[in-house]
Amino acid sequence: MQKSRLIEKIAELLIARKLPLLEDVRDESAEDVRLVLVPKSRSVDPTILMESLFKLSELENRIPLNMNVLSMGRVPKLMALNEVLLEWLDHRREVLQRRSRFRLAAIDRRLEILGGYLIAYLNLDEVIRIIREEDEPKPALMERFTLTDLQAESILNMRLRSLRKLEEFEIRTEFDACRRRRRRSRLYWPPTKSSGRPLPGKSAR
């Protein structure tokens, strides 16, 4: 609480005669905070005086804590403060790891889709022919260009006119950006398995 408010509270206790061991309180603060507590006499025990101040004033704030904690999120246990802090740190580490795994999985998925788009761009005429002529274009695309299910599905979900607007430079730029993001986000344990493929090189259509 504020210093002035604390002095006011102690003064109120003095007027109400609830601090019989204390004679006066003075504010001698300059750059730092300095409160002088004047005892009734030199025989007053400082420990007892401070205990009474802690108890009756707001010189000390006490906060009750329930230390019954679910250890590892499962086992109820009464813990000391240091154990609670360690449990909290473990929890935060797990949350950060989960977020990192989620981000890596999203990057891997995008890399896989971009790889499929690039294959479609490099073989655009054949992709369009298969989509237009085949009764089941998805398995035909997967077999013809060794695409994954996600890549084939992503290509089929595009409009043909959008497919013709694909730009190889833009795809490669985003692909490289995702690769860099993945390297920066890589964790210290084995990452989630990526179904993406290396960036395809140019091929004749």
Per-residue pLDDT of the chain (205 residues; tens, 9 = 90+): 577 788 888 888 888 888 888 888 888 887 777 888 888 888 888 888 888 888 888 777 777 777 887 777 677 888 888 888 888 898 889 898 899 889 999 999 999 999 999 998 889 889 989 998 999 999 999 999 999 999 999 999 887 666 666 677 888 888 899 888 888 876 544 444 444 445 555 443 3
Q: For the segment 174-205, what is each residue's pLDDT rounded down to a tens digit? A: 889 988 888 887 654 444 444 444 555 544 33
pLDDT value of position 165: 66
Residue pair 175/114 in contact (Cβ under 8 Å)? The answer is yes
Instruction: Output b/e per residue, 62-99; b: 16+ Cβ within 10 A.
Output: eeeeeeebeeeeeeeeeeeeeeeeebeeeeeeeeeeee
16 Cβ contact list (under 8 Å, min separation 6): none
pLDDT value of position 121: 87
What is the residue extent of each domain of the chain? 3-56, 101-185
Give the number of other CB atoms < 10 A from CB of residue 111: 22
Compute the distance between CA of residue 200 and CA of residue 180 in angstroms, rounded to an integer.
17
52 Cβ contact list (under 8 Å, min separation 6): 19, 21, 22
What is the DSSP secondary-structure string of 1-46? Answer: --HHHHHHHHHHHHHTT--TTEEEEEE--SSS--EEEEESSTTS-H
The CA R_g of the chain, rounded to the nearest whole Å, is 35
Q: Which helix or strand (DSSP H or E) is residue 11 part of?
A: helix 3-15
Residues in the chain: 205
Q: What is the pTM of this model?
A: 0.56
Question: Which CATH number is associated with domain 3-56?
Answer: 3.30.1360.40
Q: Domain 101-185, what architecture? A: Orthogonal Bundle (1.10)
Residue pair 127/155 in contact (Cβ under 8 Å)? The answer is yes
175 Cβ contact list (under 8 Å, min separation 6): 111, 114, 115, 118, 199
Task: Please name which of 130, 133, 132 lies closest in space to residue 142, comparing C-alpha atoms.
Answer: 130
Side chain identity at residue 158, one-letter code: M
Side chain identity at residue 2, one-letter code: Q
Compute the distance between CA of residue 69 and CA of residue 137 in angstroms, rounded to an integer.
56
